[in-house]
Chains A and B, each alone.
Chain A
Amino acid sequence: MSQWLPVAELAAKVRAGELEAVALVEQALRTIQEKAEYNAIIATTAERARERAASIDAVVKNGQNPGKLAGVPFIAKDNYLVFGAETTAASNMLKGFNAPYQSSVIEKLESEGAICVAKANLDAFAHGGSTENSDYMVTKNPHDKDRVPGGSSGGSAAAVVLDMAPFAIGTDTGGSIRQPASFVGCVGFKPTYGLMSRFGVVAMASSTDTIGALARTTEDAAYVIDTMAGRDPRDSTTIERDPAGYTDLPTDINGKKFGLITEWLGEGVDEGVRQTIRAAADKLRAAGADVQEVSIPSLSLALAVYYIIAPAEISSNLSRYDGQRYQFSTPEAKDLFESYTKSRGEGFGAEAKRRIMIGTYVLSSGYYDAYYQKAQIVRTKLINEFNDMFTKFDFLIGPVAPTPAFKIGENSDPLQMYLVDLMTVAPSLVGIPAMSVPAGTANDLPVGLHMLAAQRQDRMLLGAAKTVEGLLQ
């Protein structure tokens, strides 16, 4: 059982003076230290966290309200700009980088009294599905140290299950919150594209990058989303928050229509995963939900679309790391061109280089129409099919990944690693909210139920997930 109370209760006790923020921060830091062997954490923000905790306790003693997340410790994926520690995105390129400003969502969480205690490991620049691509270390799955925690938010997901903090925040571009949540057995929520501001978060693929939360329960995740969601003038892609908020959720699933996606239960999907998902569907039926199998013909194309669009956008976004503006810069270069090529050649890891070169290829003159433009058109086809589905169904469900957590080193071939994203990339390309809810185990390893809803139905999705989570426990 967790050492942490539900997030809302924890904050209420701090506001009431029954618990002290300084004690909560020490509890989090102690747990981080005790479980250091899992490599979930790159660095703590201990000094700043202790200062903030003391000031929050002082606010309470003064009879004032420090906010709805008063004194609640949390862990941020290390691609969020945060004061109190370096922001490295687990890359050598950004090693030593001290952010001159903080991410918008960090500012929002802090303004409600939450306290960042540590930065979590990830695949460098969020490129990967196992956290093995971190330039520093491989995070281990809390259920089996020989296995990966998934990725790229593997450190954040492992930290939640290791009970280091009541919640963590991550980013999801093609599955990077949902897949690790499935692999370690926590809740992982990716919102509708644009619901949370990405200002101050290291950019990966801008047309699918989203901010989200990982927590032990849907209720905790929703409480955090409620604090972070909404328009931000500093990120022009953000959308309005739901006027009804994300805490008082519609939880009734009786009579609701769920489409179980046939393509995600076919060949190449682990038998144990298939059984867990089918058993989950049966439990939903028993609870009064209308679950039917559905086919989305273009789903099989989503991975190819993603692995053109994402590298294209990555190659553009990573062009800012040129050795001149900030962080890694080679000391040895005869002219500016060589300073660019050497700084980037030495600073980037293998996966970043692969994606930059693929992106450069698909955007280059002569190949643009055949690859990038074609992918953006097939993306439309996919969006149309999903829109059609959501006229018939309230939710779509299936597995989050084809297998449970795999062994460290098992997927050493880059293309083989991309296939791990089979189920998570389509919701990203379509821009819809999607989450992973613990559904059971296969071979003693956690398996998540993937739940999707139409764009801007984040509140409805969280509400249904809260009920489903209870049914599957």
Chain B
Amino acid sequence: MADLTRDDVLKLARLARLTITDEEIEKYRKELSEILGFVEQLSQVDVTGLEPTTQVTGLKNVMREDEVVDYGATSDDLLRIVPNTQDRHIKVKRMIG
């Protein structure tokens, strides 16, 4: 049974770029431990000689020409939905403290 600690949950939240409140830490610690405990049953399964599946219909390396295709939306259309822009650039907060 995967029994996560508070620190595990905080580490996961940080890796996943999520802020979580103090109450959420305990809630998720319990819930995530339970879910991971359930899926752990796979460790008992004998899979000798089997390869992992990554694509179910057998398609491989679907290629297309490397050219600009008109998808009906312009870069201005896409910039209109960005929360913060300046002179047609996406503006973000500073990265280095």
Decide if A61 is an interface residue (CB 8 Å cutoff).
no
Once the chains bind, are A336 and B53 in contact (CB under 8 Å)?
no
Instruction: Report Cα–Cα, A172/B47, bound state, in Å.
Output: 28
Q: Which of B14, B45, B51 has the most CB of A within 10 A?
A: B45
The reply to whether B97 and A335 contact each other, CB–CB distance below 8 Å, is: yes
Q: Which of A237, A304, A334, A344 contacts B39 (CB 8 A)?
A: A304
Complex interface: chain A residues within 8 A of B17 (CB): 319, 322, 337, 340-341, 344
Interface residues as binary, A280-308 with B (CB distance below 8 Å gives 1, 0 otherwise)? 00000000000000000010010111011
Asked whether, in the complex, the Cβ of A336 is within 8 Å of the Cβ of B51, the reply is no
Are the C-beta atoms of B47 and A377 separated by less than 8 Å?
yes
Interface size of B in residues (CB-CB distance below 8 Å): 54
B34 touching A336, Cβ below 8 Å: no
Assess whether B45 is in contact with A301, with CB atoms less than 8 Å apart.
yes
Report the 3 A-B pairs with minimum CB-CB distance, sorted nearest first.
Answer: A345-B19, A431-B56, A376-B52
Given contacts A304-B42, A377-B50, whether A414 and B31 have CB atoms under 8 Å apart is yes
Q: By the criterion CB–CB under 8 Å, are B35 and A307 in contact?
A: yes
Given the complex of chains A and B, what is the CA–CA distance between A378 and B45 in angstroms?
8
Give chain A interface residues in 357-385, CB to chain B under 8 Å: 357-362, 364, 370-371, 373-381, 383-384
Contact indicator B18/A376 (Cβ below 8 Å):
no
Report if A1 contacts B (CB, 8 A).
Answer: no
> Which residue of A303, A361, A376 contacts B54 across the interface (Cβ within 8 Å)?
A376
Chain B nearest Cβ from A354, distance in angstroms: 6
A363→B94 CA distance, assembly (Å):
29
Q: Which residues of A sit under 8 angstroms from B95, Cβ to Cβ?
A: 335-337
User: Shortest distance in angstroms between A79's beta carbon and chain B's nearest beta carbon?
Assistant: 17
Q: Is A174 an interface residue (CB 8 A)?
A: no
Q: Does B86 count as interface, using CB distance less than 8 angstroms?
A: no
B93 located at the interface, meaning its Cβ lies under 8 Å from any Cβ of chain A in the complex? yes
Which segment, of A32-40, A42-50, A97-105, A256-264, faces chain B?
A: A97-105
Complexed CA–CA distance, A97 and B78 (Å): 11
- Interface residues, chain B, with chain A CB atoms under 8 Å away: 9, 12-20, 24, 28, 31-32, 34-36, 38-43, 45, 47, 50-57, 59, 62, 64, 69, 71-73, 77-78, 80-84, 90, 92-97
Residues on A with beta carbons closer than 8 Å to the beta carbon of B82: 324-326
Give which listed residue, B31, B35, B52, B83, contacts A324 with CB less than 8 A.
Answer: B83
**Pair B55/A370 contact, Cβ less than 8 Å:** no
Shortest Cβ distance from residue B46 to the other chain A in the assembled complex, whole angstroms = 9
Minimum CB–CB distance for A294 against chain B, Å: 21
Measured between beta carbons, the chain B residues less than 8 angstroms from A390 are none
CB < 8 Å neighbour of B35 from A193, A239, A360, A418: A418
- A sample of 14 cross-chain residue pairs with beta-carbon separation below 8 angstroms, ordered by A number, consists of A100-B81, A194-B59, A236-B59, A305-B42, A324-B83, A324-B84, A329-B84, A357-B28, A358-B35, A361-B36, A370-B43, A380-B50, A418-B35, A430-B56
Q: Could you tell me which residues of chain A, from 75 to 99, have a CB within 8 Å of some CB in chain B?
A: 97-98
State whether B35 touches A375 (Cβ < 8 A).
no
Q: Is the CB of A381 within 8 A of B45?
A: yes
- Residue of B16, B54, B92 with highest tally of chain A CB at under 10 A: B16
Mask for A302-323, Cβ within 8 A of B = 1, else 0?
0111011000000100010011
Q: Give every chain A residue within 8 A of B54 (Cβ-Cβ).
A: 207, 376
Query: Which residues of the partner chain A approach B9 to less than 8 Å between Cβ atoms?
Result: 357
The answer to whether A341 and B19 have CB atoms under 8 Å apart is yes
Q: Cα distance A384–B47 when bound, in Å? A: 12
Chain B residues lying within 8 Å of A65, measured Cβ to Cβ, are none
Given contacts A239-B59, A307-B39, contact A415 B81 (CB under 8 A): no
